[in-house]
A and B are shown apart, each in its own frame.
Chain A
């Protein structure tokens, strides 16, 4: 029977990463992009935890770091949403493509 090994986790994480990046590149809605970022961060988390789990002797740094990342993500989200609101106030939309005043 199939035993779930490290590789599977890594692959999952990698898929998460790509999904996140893809989301960011395709979504036009700022919130959507934020979700994409969250996916990226979680890809990292999956890796960290998985490594901790599979290293012989087991480690904890990774898990601690994962916790940190979750907190960071929260903080980031807070700021990000704030900014999105600000954008919405100014541009009356959160469509990132409408924010093209600065270019060239």
Chain B
């Protein structure tokens, strides 16, 4: 396909949901109940899905060089000028975009379909007015914003769509806004995101000021050049908590991601966001929007300094651990999934932080599939169980809703990272396992290397530089790093890896965006603290546990609530998407997306950091790590499952006893470490308090000044005998008026009405004037005598 065909197709894919949005806004009520939904399904996501598929196929047909050319030549137009700096609007066209675009459209499409079924069962009438069309309008708007986010090539537009998806999430969480908690949750979500965006804005400012452009690629180039030359942002000696300006820029941008992806300090909104309809939770708060944070980090990866990445890793690590622990004690099925989402997002961010760019995105996509599926299943369950979300009331639903049960199980297996770690067990050179298996495994491998073997690698690197300098046409160390990798693979591995590695090297050498200097940055990258690795792998054991717990409590065992059980059922319109997603979870994730991401990685990250390809390819360190890690990681799910089943096999009895045993821990986890409470006191209440202080100040402080001045005036006018009236005063003006009136009192005081006083005052003042004039106006002469003498005869 031609240069602009891709852009045009993708752009249409972005715009068609917008069309459906306006259509639904204006014509929605007339379209009525199912029709509006179908409009959204077809126009809102069907068209984009088709286009995305076309693009994907076309893209897979392109050669490496062709893709690079397309990426380089992608459309850029000037939208506006900030000062003198143009803001470009354009398409960031590379494999990652294509992959994400396809993933989003596919999942979104399925969820749209699902929603129709879902909404059929749900009352969308509030106070006799249908909000049905509104729901699908919002979904369409979300589709537009999310796809725009994926597509945009400039940070500013990234930010714009960023906010728009935030808006959609606000609107959709608050879809049942007639319920207090829903609108509260919506507001919480938006404001928490705003807090993140505050950081994002600061990052933007730094980019704008120091890199002088908002275009992702240009920014990266300038950044690299500035690093090489030590100019621009690297020239300033400003530091904050030991962070250089460049680092602050990276962290700032990452703050945005923290908001959207609900990372550790800003995670509080996501569980509440489950107040929205379940499809929304699946689409926005599991699959796509929350992953946008990871996507953002991936996009600004080339603007990240090692320190920034360390911070990213830290946040990710904390999130994945803490949230996983909370998930253990959840009894609300959606909340449970929400916390597992948080934990998985933590994994992705952590991966980004420790440099597993590919792994992170890979995990993003696999997670998108199985988490969306899990949420839809939960939706199915909740729907089936008559809006019952408490797992303690469920159980034994397998018989009533087998499809849901199976698909749910698939999801559980996937998120648990099920696979067969035995070396022999391979199909076409690929390990057997579900998405989670590979991605998580890969993340951990990289984490391991970063934690334990990084020093050797950086040493190798220096050696490699010299080596590579002579070896390839590309003198830059990054290229040589790539060559180094290639060499190793050539030297030590089976031949089938060679082409890929060569490709890798080739990629790196003709890689644009001055990745060279970026690689240099990473030479002084620190080791990852080993505890992070341990936490990560520990959580790898926790995850299967709580997932299996969740599944078992829901589907296995005996029914705990007969009424719920009797009501349970499932509807085709809803489980068809489940099946599709399940299949997706099985296959497409690995066979399709992984190579695309890897392909994107070279240009999108300036490959120095792409240590972690997957288990098969990479430095020997990672390879070695895989050698034994796969046993631990791969085996984790067995342990988790067994423990979970052991505890919940027959009812909740054992769980209850355990709860008693670990009561303090349980309480802390149950209350989510009291984050909400603390935030409520510190931020919300604090802010409102400050606000009231401000208002008080505004209303009364100036008034105080006024009274003060008035009082002073009164002192002056002690005899004017005016009392200051205090009513109806706020603001200086009354002060002026009142003070004036008092001065008026002073001024009028001599006007006693006694003519004799008048004469007295007049004479007195006149005398004073005379005296003054004599004193200052002129040197006091010798007076009458001299006159007399002068005129004497």
Contact = CB atoms under 8 A, between A and B. Distances in A.
A6 B787 CA distance: 9
B114 to A, nearest CB: 85
B753 A102 contact: yes
A89 interface: no
A96 B755 contact: yes
Contacts of B760: 25
Interface in B740-793: 748, 751-756, 759-760, 763, 784-785, 787-788, 791-793
Interface SS, B side: helix
Interface in B160-187: none
A26 B753 contact: no
B792 A6 contact: yes
Given A54-B793, A100-B754, A103-B753, A10 B763 contact: no
A7 B785 contact: yes
A24 interface: yes
Contacts of B751: 103-104
Contacts of A10: 784, 788
Contact of B763 (A25, A56, A101, A104): A25
Interface in B712-762: 748, 751-756, 759-760
A7 B763 CA distance: 24
A51 to B, nearest CB: 8
A5 B784 CA distance: 12
A104 B759 CA distance: 16
B781 to A, nearest CB: 14
A49 B788 CA distance: 14
B791 A21 contact: no
Interface string A72-104: 000000000000000000000000110111111
Contacts of B784: 7, 10-11
Nearest to B793: A56
Contacts of A102: 753
Interface in A1-57: 5-7, 10-11, 21, 24-28, 33, 51, 54-56
Contacts of B753: 99-104
B343 to A, nearest CB: 82
B759 A21 contact: yes
Contact of B788 (A6, A99, A103): A6
A99 B792 contact: no
A6 B752 contact: no
Contacts of B787: 6
B754 A55 contact: no
A26 B760 CA distance: 9
Nearest to A54: B791
Nearest to A53: B793
B439 to A, nearest CB: 91
Contacts of A5: 788, 792
A6 B784 CA distance: 9
A36 to B, nearest CB: 9
Contact of B759 (A6, A11, A25): A25
B756 A96 contact: yes
A33 B756 CA distance: 9
Contacts of A27: 756
Most buried by B among A5, A6, A27, A54: A6
Nearest to B763: A21
Contacts of B793: 54, 56
Given A10-B784, A21-B763, A56 B755 contact: no
A100 B785 CA distance: 44
Contacts of A96: 754-756
B754 A54 contact: no
Given A96-B754, A99-B755, A104 B792 contact: no
Most buried by A among B755, B759, B784, B792: B755
A101 B753 CA distance: 7
B360 to A, nearest CB: 85
A97 B754 contact: yes
Nearest to A102: B753
A56 B788 contact: no
A97 B756 contact: yes
A56 B787 CA distance: 13
B756 A104 contact: no
Contacts of B763: 21, 25
A104 B748 contact: yes
A102 B431 CA distance: 110
Nearest to B785: A7
A54 B789 CA distance: 11
Nearest to A51: B791
B792 to A, nearest CB: 7
Contacts of A7: 784-785, 788
B755 to A, nearest CB: 5
A40 to B, nearest CB: 11
B765 to A, nearest CB: 13
Interface in B534-565: none
Contacts of A100: 752-754
Contacts of B755: 33, 96, 99
A24 B756 contact: yes
Given A54-B793, A104-B748, A24 B759 contact: yes
A10 B784 CA distance: 8
Nearest to B745: A104
Nearest to B764: A25
Nearest to B757: A25
A103 B756 CA distance: 13
A3 B755 CA distance: 42
Nearest to B760: A25
A104 B763 CA distance: 20
Given A21-B763, A56-B793, A26 B756 contact: yes
A104 B746 CA distance: 10
A21 B290 CA distance: 95
A11 to B, nearest CB: 8
B26 to A, nearest CB: 70
B752 A103 contact: yes
A84 to B, nearest CB: 12
Nearest to A8: B788
A95 to B, nearest CB: 11
B759 A56 contact: no
Nearest to A57: B793
A102 B752 CA distance: 9
A41 to B, nearest CB: 15
Contact of B791 (A6, A97, A99, A103): A6
Contacts of B759: 21, 24-25
A26 B756 CA distance: 7
27 contacts: A6-B787, A6-B788, A6-B791, A6-B792, A7-B785, A11-B784, A21-B759, A24-B756, A25-B756, A25-B759, A25-B760, A25-B763, A27-B756, A28-B756, A51-B791, A54-B791, A54-B793, A55-B791, A97-B754, A100-B753, A100-B754, A101-B753, A102-B753, A103-B751, A103-B753, A103-B754, A104-B751
Q: Which 9 A-B pairs have the closest CB atoms?
A: A103-B753, A100-B753, A7-B788, A6-B788, A25-B760, A96-B755, A24-B759, A10-B784, A25-B756
Given A7-B784, A103-B753, 12 more contacts: A21-B763, A25-B759, A25-B760, A25-B763, A26-B756, A28-B756, A97-B756, A100-B753, A100-B754, A102-B753, A104-B748, A104-B751
Interface of A: 5-7, 10-11, 21, 24-28, 33, 51, 54-56, 96-97, 99-104
Interface of B: 748, 751-756, 759-760, 763, 784-785, 787-788, 791-793
